[in-house]
Amino acid sequence: MEQTFAKYINVNGQLMDLSYPRVMGILNITPDSFYAGSRMQTETEIVQRAVRIVREGGSIIDVGAYSSRPNAEHISPQEEMERLRKGLRAIRRELPDAVISVDTFRADVARMCVEEYGTGIINDISAGNMDENMFPTIARLGVPYVMMHMQGTPQDMQLHPHYGNIVKEVLYYFSEKVQKLRDMGAKDLIIDPGFGFGKTLEHNYELLNKMEELQIFELPVLVGVSRKSMIYKLLDKTPDTALNGTSIVHAIALMKGADILRVHDVKAATEAIRIVAAMKNLKPEE
């Protein structure tokens, strides 16, 4: 399905044009993310990673302080906030104009990041399912909101994922979420099919194959497949050796309508975008 509608999001009062796909660089302030290359602990490491994301062509820095890998350790809201305060303070000092997204499922954490540090986007793996206050908080804050499809929680999502028809169920899931948010007055919604979250290897590739069906919502689509098990397990590799496979899946996702790639390897992702954009005759904004 070819995109025939304009896609913009209002970030910190500025329109971000998504007609040319964007890269969201991952910056994890956690000790246990599945890919070691994305873990940053000290302020110096955090700043160096943020600067590198921007220098290599990333439009958004996605900061996370709660690991959402399968069987991840559950941390308190207080610890999540402490980690984020340290990271956001350091990034804002070095890159005051950077577009920052915060990866959290907690409404209080989202509010703190937006109100205290000017965070421009909230990225919620649970689409409001893990905190009933998230939707009204997003509507009140008025920031762009990424809602992801996940079956279960990070602690149990990969135990027994099951679907009758994964594509239909994901579409129905988003239809309910989008309507609920719009009824509350929320704008600038972004959908993420949630590759690797409560899905088997087969589920992930079935969803990738039909990803263009998400265009029915006429909303931006974010894809996060970077170095995930759907790639490295299929290819008998590890997260550290999954960059080539990641680039291939990125190219497929872009051809099927992805507007934002959430990635560990910003330079490789920007190159994938340039190649697919040349094929589609898309031009970046001046």
Catalytic residue positions?
Answer: 228, 262
Write out the two tokens for 190: 């972004």
Determine the residue type at 69. R
Phi, psi for 15 (deg, rounded to 5)? -80, 125
Question: For the chain, how many residues are written?
Answer: 286
Tell me which residue has tokens 């490295």. 232
Residue 45 CB contacts under 8 Å (≥ 6 apart), including other chains:
none
Cα–Cα distance measured from residue 144 to residue 79, given in angstroms and rounded to the nearest whole number = 24
What's the token pair of residue 128? 């409001």
Tokens of 118: 């000017």
**238 neighbors 283 (Cβ within 8 angstroms):** no
